Each structure stands twice: as C-alpha cells, then as structure tokens.
Amino acid sequence: MKLRLGTISLLLAAAPAAYAQTSVTLYGRLDGGIEYLNHVANATGGNASRWSAEGGDWGTSMLGLRGTEDLGGGLSTLFNLETALQVMDGTSGGGKMFSRRAFVGLKDETWGQVQAGRNLFIDSDGVWEFDPMVQQAVSSASLVRGRNWQQSSNNVEYHSPVIGGFDVQGQYAFGNQTNGFNRGASDDFGRSDGVMLTYHSPVVDVRGIYDELRDSNGRFSNIFTSSREFFVGANVRVQKFKFQAAYTHYSAPDSPAGVADSADHYWLGATYQADQRWAVTAAGFYIKVGDGAGDASHDPSSHAMLYALSTTYNLSKRTFLYGTVAYLRNSSRGTFSVFANARDSDSSTSPMAGESQTGAYIGMMHTF
C-alpha cells in the first residue's frame, strides 16, 4: 500500500510539469526626454516656438503582461495585456486599463495562431518594421496624421505559420452595434478589417497590406482617419546598411462632396549600423493629397516633404540614448507638422498654412 500511494503521489506531482508548461512575463519600456518645435500656429493668427519635456518621442512607453501555456501536441494558449504609459505625468493611455492590447488565443505549430480581443490595427502592427524611423514621433505617421498608429477593439485575427519565408496575417474588427453592421460605438471605429502578406529573407523583406478603417457610422469619410489603405514596403540589408522604402495609397470615397478624398504617401530611408552600440538613420517622407477642398477635419489638396535625421547609442542591451532632428516643408495650403496630430486637434502642433517647421528631441529609452 505504501509503495502504491508513493507511486501515485509521484505521478500527481510530475503530471503538471509533463502536461503543461506555463509562463507569464511582465514587460515594458519607458521613454522620456526634451523636445523643441517651432512655427506652431496659435490662436492670434501667429506662430510660436515651444520647448517641452515629453515622453514617448522615440516610442510609446508601455507596461504589459503576456503568457503562454503548453497544451501538448504542438498546441498552446496565449494572452497579452498591454497599456500605453506617459512617464511625464504617470497616466495610462486612452482612458482604458489596457489601451494597446488585450487578447487571448490559441497557437498551433502547424496551422498558425488565432486570437480575439483588442490589438493594434493591422497597419500599425505592420508598417513600423518598414519605417526607417521605427514610428518615432517623427516618422511615417507624421504626414498621415497618425493613420497608422491606431488600435481596434472587438477583433479576431489569424497569423499563419511561416512557409518558405512567407506568412499571412488577417484581422477583422466587429462594430458590435445593432443599428448597422458597419457601425461602431460613438467613440470608436466602425467595422474594420485588413490582410497582410510578408516575405522575409536574410537580405530582403517585402510586405503588402490592404485594410479598411471605418468611422463610427461605418463610412470611409476621411483619408487620414477612416479610409481604405494599400501599402507596399521593402527592406534591403547590405553589410552595415539597411535601406527601406514604401508607398501607401489612401482613399475615402464617403468624404463630403468637394473635399479631397485620396492621398499618396512615399518614403525612403537608410540606417547605418556603425557598431553594436551606435547607429544613424536618414529618411525622407512625402505626402500628396489629391484634388479637392478642405475643412476643419479634412486636408485640402496639398503636399509636404519631411526630412529626418536620427541617431541611437546603446548604453546596454536594455537602455539607449537617442536624438532626432526633422525639417518639414509644406505647400501653400498644407498644414502638416513634423509630429503626427489630428487636423482638428485642440492641442495641434501644426504650423499655419504653407509654413515650414523644424522639430527636434533627445531622450532615453529603457526596456525591461
């Protein structure tokens, strides 16, 4: 009897380890520094310069939890909870406990991963890897007013396994409303979706994205807030250099009559990795808004060119210093800023129509 009870006890003790391996990780990053911006339009019809302490200029500060459980046979469950942080005042992002990610899913080594919850919108998840500025405050988001920075709720996603260097990701976000299938909550997006195809190799990466981001009424009503997007980008690595280029087309066919309803966005950049600690990046971004007038929330036909130079220096594997300077030149009707902001934002960083703008920031990023 003692031998039998001892054997059962050993089996019960060993069973959790043999059946399921579980891991939970607390992670995050903190970013803070000093920022300068000139030619900021003010309420009196003039402009001013601004010095400020800012967090998140190189990248959003965040705090998150992620975990997995091995279910056996190549199948595992996973979850991710993540919120944005602002180190300058200690607040979290967007009035949500988990503003960036809150999802649960299953992953199979053969069939891929499926998940449900809140996540970065598919272009936000897919563009940063092809942005020379890695979606800093000065980045591919600057000339599209943050169109590729969004998150979406109520979504389901699929990530395929990598086959021959290729993988596919699809995302579908429900509006969850009874008054129309495409509609969303008054303070959120409507039904939105997208698909992304990627090829990775040691030398070249190529990605294509098609997505649809609807407003709360279920319409494509603004090229930079609720529109269709076609994106193609490429990375090429040559010794210590990485070259990056991309093209994006936006269309908003439900825009009010007479306003511009399309835009084309291009960029080209290169990063030189001098050694393990120091790198420097130079990039140029160009936006061309199609024919049409503008109003308080819609950009008129215009164009702008943004030039950026950035450097990072690693103090350790987890901590680096950074510095970025940028110059933007607007056409006569353009009001784009070196920093992404909504056209109708109360705290806009935009210059007056046709004015150029210079911005710069330095800071430190720590990850854990």
3-state secondary structure of 142: helix
Question: What is the reported pLDDT for 5?
Answer: 38
- Residue 94: what pLDDT? 75
Token reading at 234: 């490429």
pLDDT tens sequence across 317-345: 999 999 999 999 999 999 999 999 988 76
354 torsion bin: left (phi>0), alpha (psi -120 to 50), beta (else): left
Tell me which residue of 289, 296, 297 sits closest to 334, measured CA to CA: 289
Cα distance from N-terminal residue to C-terminal residue, the chain: 51
High-pLDDT (> 70) share of the chain, %: 94
Nearest to 317 by CA among 242, 262, 368: 368
Please give the residue that has the higher pLDDT: either 297 or 347. Answer: 297
Neighbouring-strand partners of residue 203: none
The band of 7, judged by pLDDT with boundaries at 50, 70 and 90, is very low
Structure tokens given for 325: 């300077």
At 2 the three-state DSSP class reads helix
Q: Residues 224, 343: contact at Cβ < 8 Å?
A: yes
What is d(CA 65, CA 195) in angstroms, rounded to the nearest whole number? 26
C-alpha separations of 159 from 109, 112, 127 in Å: 11, 6, 16
The CATH number for 109-367, chosen from 2.40.160.10, 3.40.50.970, 1.20.1250.20, 2.70.40.10, is 2.40.160.10
The SS3 call for residue 83 is strand
* Mean local confidence (pLDDT), 262-283: 98
What does each C-alpha distance from 50 to 233, 330, 355 come to in angstroms? 34, 19, 16
What pLDDT score was predicted for residue 347? 67
* 3-class state of residue 295 by DSSP: coil
Q: What is the pLDDT of residue 20?
A: 61
- Quote the tokens at residue 365: 């990023």
* DSSP category for residue 162: P
pLDDT at 3: 36
pLDDT attached to residue 21: 83
pLDDT(259) > 80: yes
Higher pLDDT, 202 or 14: 202
- Contact between 242 and 271 (Cβ < 8 Å): yes
Average pLDDT rounded to a whole number, residues 130-134: 97
Question: ∠ at Cα 352 (55, 147), nearest 5°?
Answer: 50
**Residue partners of 183: CB distance under 8 A and separation at least 6:** 175, 177, 190, 191, 216, 217, 218
When pLDDT is cut at 50, 70 and 90, the band that residue 346 belongs to is low
Predicted confidence (pLDDT) per residue in 9-35, tens digit: 433 444 444 456 899 999 999 999 999
Cα distances (angstroms) measured from residue 326 to each of 107, 281, 343? 42, 12, 20
Whole-number pLDDT of residue 13? 44
pLDDT at residue 124 greater than cutoff 90: yes
Question: Chain-centre distance of CA 22, in angstroms?
Answer: 29
Query: What gap in Å lies between CA 194 and CA 174, rounded to an integer?
Result: 12
Q: 188 by DSSP, 3-state: which?
A: coil
pTM of the model: 0.92
**Local confidence band at 45 (pLDDT 50, 70, 90 cut-offs):** confident
- Per the CB < 8 A criterion, the answer to whether 82 and 94 are in contact is no
Q: Do the beta carbons of residue 176 and residue 152 sit within 8 Å? A: no
Q: Residue 4: is its pLDDT beyond 50?
A: no
Tell me the average pLDDT across 146-163: 96
Residue 345: per-residue pLDDT: 67
Mean residue pLDDT of the chain comes to 93
Residues of the chain with pLDDT > 90, as a percent, come to 89
What's the mean pLDDT in 52-72?
97
Backbone angles phi, psi at 358, to 5 degrees: -125, 135
* Residue 62 scores a pLDDT above 80: yes
Q: How far is the CA of 37 from the CAs of 81, 142, 235, 365, in angstroms? A: 34, 14, 30, 21
Residue 37 near residue 49, CB atoms below 8 Å:
yes
